[in-house]
């Protein structure tokens, strides 16, 4: 319907898409363009340079240290990308019949199996498109489970250190969220749990290790208390990166779990997705999983829609297939060394914690798992808040850690080095953090102008929030 012609415009070779009169006779004239398209006339080289320059402005794990607590930012091996981009995967349409999709279905079936082994769960669905999506699917399963038992349970218990998606997921399913406080060790307070537990409670949502990076020592007692009440336990798998090969949610007594593949099995994270958050359940909840699940009848792999109590589909087709391929590749490549992955993640976090706890406050001074939480209270008293520390780190080729979360720690700095960083990089981070602490102590006023080296320099946060200027010009203030 159109033709492409090359033309010269001020000496620049470009492309102009023009209407092709001889090919538009069947189109109503009112739909035909009367004026030429306002397209820039740029050569392919100039376009490539433009987008390369934009990409260089982005911070990524390949560019510098990314100790973003809670949201694990580990390196994604490029072999995963290569395998996910094999022609047989990328050109396979999701509406193809099962008979014509045996390779892809076998991969999904095998991924279900290895995730069952790793989590201890009895059945897995790979459909959810993200961790929070997995949470939502899990809470839908819990709600429908009690409906089939003719029990009207309306409450979900959530620790005060939980990820914000936990209460959101529960609330979206119609549950009332009941918050319980942490004890002096940063763990679930057993007495507080017992005080709010009644026959209206459907479940408790927990992360273990929790968002302070601490393992819940009383998890078996919590599981016993909840199950005696007829309630279920939901495992937020965001921190599963810390426990692989040592324990699993089933051993802890959990009934439903989601896993963030990007945090644990190195699929891409950030940039708007796509993601994947598979959910696993114990035997009594198998029939509630979203359909289809992938089954094998001894001869062929197939999509099984025959689950009596299924919550239905939660994602078009079968989730984000390319992400699942990447996770499967990582698991096969790593093999039994998944245990070493967790060991190294825990070792790196404890190394940083011990190196930094003298210069920054450490509210919960216990052996941590894969992450830990410092407080910038001391630095704020000296004149520089945690937000400033985060901005100052940007000038040191380091992405800031998560700040002001969890909410139970004032001026929180949540740090997770992951297992993919070596000691040299960790020592560089320690050196930078100690330098910043010293700067604040000696002259906080002098140091309040960061970041200075990033594309967008220091801004007035209050003004930016109240009067956002989204139209950039050369004369815009940085």
Architecture of domain 340-466: Alpha-Beta Complex (3.90)
Which phi and psi (to 5°) does residue 319 adopt? 80, -165
Give the range among 29-33, 231-235, 257-261, 397-401 with minimum mean pLDDT: 29-33
Which phi and psi (to 5°) does residue 296 adopt? -140, 125
CB 368 within 8 A of CB 349: yes
Domain boundaries, the chain: 2-57, 78-336, 340-466
Position 135 scores a pLDDT of 97
Higher-confidence residue of 150 and 460: namely 150
CB 111 within 8 A of CB 328: yes
- The CATH number of domain 78-336, selected from 3.20.20.70, 1.10.3470.10, 3.90.700.10, 3.40.640.10: 3.40.640.10
pLDDT range class, residue 402, cuts 50, 70, 90: very high
pLDDT in tens, 264-302: 998 887 555 678 999 999 999 999 999 999 999 999 999
Q: Tell me the three state secondary structure of residue 22.
A: helix
Position 478 scores a pLDDT of 46
Helix spans in 335-395 (H) = 338-356, 377-381, 386-394
Does 18 score more than 50 pLDDT? no
Position 17 scores a pLDDT of 45
Report, as an integer, the average pLDDT of 318-331.
93
Higher-confidence residue of 125 and 34: namely 125
Report, as an integer, the average pLDDT of 234-241.
96
> How far is 280 from 285, CA to CA, in rounded Å?
9
Of 153, 197, 198, nearest to 173 by C-alpha is 153
Report, as an integer, the average pLDDT of 19-36.
71
Instruction: Please give the model's pTM, rounded to 2 decimal places.
Output: 0.89
Position 34 scores a pLDDT of 82
Position 173 scores a pLDDT of 96
Which phi and psi (to 5°) does residue 27 adopt? -95, 130
Give the range among 104-113, 139-148, 175-184, 440-449 with minimum mean pLDDT: 440-449
Which phi and psi (to 5°) does residue 297 adopt? -100, 15
* Packed helices 338-356 and 423-442: angle between N→C axes, nearest 10 degrees: 20
CB 317 within 8 A of CB 294: no
Q: How many residues appear in the chain?
A: 478
Does 398 score more than 80 pLDDT? yes
3-state helix, strand, coil in the chain (%, to 5): 40, 15, 45
């Amino acid at each position: 319907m159109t033709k492409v012609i090359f033309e010269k415009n001020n000496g620049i070779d470009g492309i102009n898409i023009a209407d092709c009169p001889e090919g538009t006779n069947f189109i109503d004239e009112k739909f035909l363009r009367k004026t030429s398209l306002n397209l820039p006339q740029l050569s392919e080289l100039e376009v490539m340079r433009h987008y390369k320059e934009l990409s260089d402005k982005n911070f990524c794990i390949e560019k510098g240290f990314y100790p973003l607590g809670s949201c694990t930012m580990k390196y994604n091996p490029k072999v995963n990308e290569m395998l996910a981009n094999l022609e047989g995967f990328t050109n396979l349409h999701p509406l193809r019949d099962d008979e014509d999709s045996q390779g892809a279905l076998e991969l999904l079936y095998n991924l279900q199996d290895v995730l069952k082994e790793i989590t201890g769960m009895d059945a897995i669905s790979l459909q959810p498109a993200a961790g929070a999506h997995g949470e939502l699917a899990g809470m839908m399963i819990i709600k429908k489970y009690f409906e089939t038992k003719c029990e009207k349970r309306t409450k979900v218990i959530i620790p005060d250190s939980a990820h914000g998606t936990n209460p959101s997921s529960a609330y979206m399913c119609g549950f009332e969220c009941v918050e319980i406080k942490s004890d002096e060790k940063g763990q679930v307070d057993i007495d507080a749990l017992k005080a709010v537990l009644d026959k209206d409670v459907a479940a408790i949502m927990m992360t273990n290790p929790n968002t302070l990076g601490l393992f819940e020592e009383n998890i078996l007692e919590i599981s016993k208390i909840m199950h005696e009440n007829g309630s279920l336990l939901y495992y937020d798998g965001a921190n599963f990166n810390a426990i692989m090969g040592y324990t699993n949610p089933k051993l802890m007594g959990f009934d439903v779990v989601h896993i963030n593949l990007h945090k644990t099995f190195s699929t891409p994270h950030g940039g708007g997705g796509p993601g994947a958050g598979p959910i696993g359940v114990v035997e009594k909840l198998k029939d509630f999983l979203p359909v289809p699940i992938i089954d094998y009848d001894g001869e062929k792999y197939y999509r099984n829609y025959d689950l009596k109590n299924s919550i239905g589909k939660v994602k078009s087709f079968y989730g984000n297939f390319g992400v699942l391929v990447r996770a499967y590749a990582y698991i096969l490549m790593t093999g039994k060394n998944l245990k070493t992955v967790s060991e190294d993640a825990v070792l790196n976090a404890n190394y940083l914690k011990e190196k930094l706890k003298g210069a920054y406050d450490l509210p919960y001074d216990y052996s941590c798992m894969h992450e830990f939480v410092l407080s910038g209270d001391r630095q704020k008293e000296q004149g520089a808040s945690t937000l400033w520390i985060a901005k100052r780190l940007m000038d040191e080729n380091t992405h800031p850690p998560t700040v002001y979360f969890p909410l139970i720690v004032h001026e929180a700095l949540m740090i997770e080095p992951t297992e993919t960083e070596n000691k040299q990089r960790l020592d560089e981070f320690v050196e930078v953090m100690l330098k910043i602490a010293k700067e604040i102590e000696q002259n906080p006023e002098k140091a309040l102008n960061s970041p200075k080296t990033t594309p967008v320099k220091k801004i007035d946060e209050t003004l930016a929030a109240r009067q956002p200027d989204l139209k950039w010009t050369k004369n815009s203030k940085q």
